[in-house]
Structure 1
Amino acid sequence: MRVLLSTWGSRGDVEPLLGLGLELRARGVDVRMCAPPDFAERVAGVGVPFVPMGFAVRELVASKPAPAEVAAALVAEHFDVIGKAAEDCDAVVATGLMPAGVRSVAEHLGIHYVLAGFHPVGIPSLHRRPGPRPGKPFPPGETDRRVLWKIDAERVNALYREPLNTHRAALGLPPVDDVRDHVFTARPWLAVDPVLWPLQDTLGFDPLQTGAWIMPDDRPLPADLVTFLEAGDPPVYVGFGSMQMAGAPDAAAVAVEAIRAQGRRALVSRGWADLGLVDEEDDCFAVGEANHRELFRRVAAVVHHGGAGTTTTAALAGAPQVIVPQIVDQPYWAERVAELGIGAGHDGPAPTVASLSTALGSALREDTNERAREVSATIRSDGASVAARTLIDLMSA
């Protein structure tokens, strides 16, 4: 059996797929991955064959092209790159930014197709409004969520339908009317922990919630980082992953001052925001790439953007969290960690020293720490195993 894993997105889209890929490989399945060129080294580093797809995510975020241009380019990449990479595969698993052409490639090749997500924000539900998306505005004051989700589908169609159907016609495939529902299928997979994000009723979909796909990581922490960790009380980690934090250019200085205001040392992760030290005091340390599963067990709290992977990793480690949400699913994660009592959600994407210090004060309380340890014991770590077994059964049927 051979499976193609496909995504175009940030590291939060790549790492879970790698977790699934390694689980599949352990079960004797050949795996290859199509992903943005930003992640070639990371994918190759764990021995998964890599096929670069599309343009670099980091460069795209900086250049801010028109959404319709991005959509058309991605559809073309799906038919070209995925079309070639999947030719000898039995199945393709697609994630990331609206993989509009991947199902069509699978249909053309006669192989299995699975759409997987790491949050259910885009799946229509009466329990929440659609997330932000370019295109037709919502009518002022409209509260009927069925109406809002219908407009969400129209937005997707406006971006993707024409390029998708143009490429489908070239393969002799019939046109697609509703791109969003076509991409999702009636049974999308959700690689989301059910404690952190309980699945609620959806409109016309029957998702399979497997649990989060957690990338195994046994890398030791860098020696200089270990020295810093052992030189005093557990520090507060701050990092924003693939978020460039354009709306908060002084995020590092704000975070360090807020952490110091709580009498704590600071551990600053550079990430795509390129955070760094603000002075030469020995109560701060800057870290690059590191094993978060190990690191988060050794910190007092984790301040981050609220990506699904970072939220899950911190929860699994039993580390209290402060989420400073930026986009898409991140505001939900901020609300959820507060609801669970395992941390605090910051109000808005641009913290001040005062606002972040207040949130940290809540996260660093002993009752929050105890609750974070309690919840950590309920977080599933077998999501990738569940998904791998299910996919193998699908291919074997």
Structure 2
Amino acid sequence: MIPGEALLNAFINANILIFVAYLLWLAVRFALNRGGLQHSHATQLKLLNTVFVAIILSPFLVLALGTLQSNGYAKSVNVNLSDMVVAYYLNGGFEMQATEFERLVNLRHTFMNNVINAAGWVALCAIAAFLVSMAIGTLRLCYSVICLFRIVSAGYTWRRIGRIHLRLSDRTLVPFSTRGLRNYYVVIPSHMLGQRQELAVSLAHEFQHLRQGDIEWEIILEALKPFFFFNPAYHAWKRQVENLRELSCDAEVLRRGRIDVRAYCDTLLSVCQQTLRKDRMFVVAVPKVTLVTADRSALRDGKMSFLQHRITALLDLRHLRRPRLLYAVTVMPMAAAIFLTAVAIQRPADWSQDRLMLSTVVNLERLDEINRLSTFGRIRN
């Protein structure tokens, strides 16, 4: 397989796996809510991050399985989706002309060849759309990083705790944290120095984000956004991660018992009022994790905002007794489903008996069509 085809195949597989993973996550979340485990935010966040790692590792699993099969091992393992559909068709599962069915089965391979060779208007539109989305996404990301760098560099260092730099800024009204190549930065609005309660809540919240590794995950998801610009499942997945990391962070800060729940909620409401007046540079500056943001769409539509959801969750906070057990019970089937899907959507390595049979049926069907046309021509003459 040539490198271009390999990259395109991996890109298509990644989009399929993200879509499948999000559907699995919706099913798991529904089951958790029905089981009264909707407050297990930390476990759910860990689950999403682990499944995303499983998506990244799935090509290596497929490669390892292919290596084993080429060396004579695991020959009986055949979960290829295309082969299963072909077998189902040959057993009379549904009615369709063999030529049409073969065209449908080979649709992905045909599309990949057209894209690689830039043949046809569909392939040209797909290439143009991908390049434009990549350019827009990359420029947006670069501009966002520049805005973030300006905000951080404009502040002045208040304190240092190892690799963590606490900075005071007059250019932001909302506390947030980010990182550079080596150091972490927690940026606090200057006016919070005179508000002891808000300062304590903000620092505790941002330090918890650092402990959870949320900044690294935000960087990864933001960096990958241009590649999956047209995949709605990826954007929905990222929103789920963003919501769960805030809910998990809130719960963990209160679990430590150093901050009162009323003080925490008052700080969220106070800072949210400030976010309604934030400047454009702060809005586009990524990657960062903030204390709170205002959900303007919810305010316009009259829906329950995420801030309301956070406060409701804090007031009804429950601690999970066995989070590790719940994590193990949920992550194992999801990871197994991702790996199984990754193997199933691969292109068949060789011609199976069912594919040979399908090719024979197609050739017979074409031969019958040629004979029919020839007979019709002789009758007319």
TM-score (norm: length of structure 2): 0.24
Which structure is higher in strand share?
A: 1
Whose RCO is larger (CA < 8 A, sep 6+)?
Answer: 2
Which structure is higher in helix share?
A: 2
**Which of 1 and 2 has greater Rg?**
2
TM-score (norm: length of structure 1): 0.23
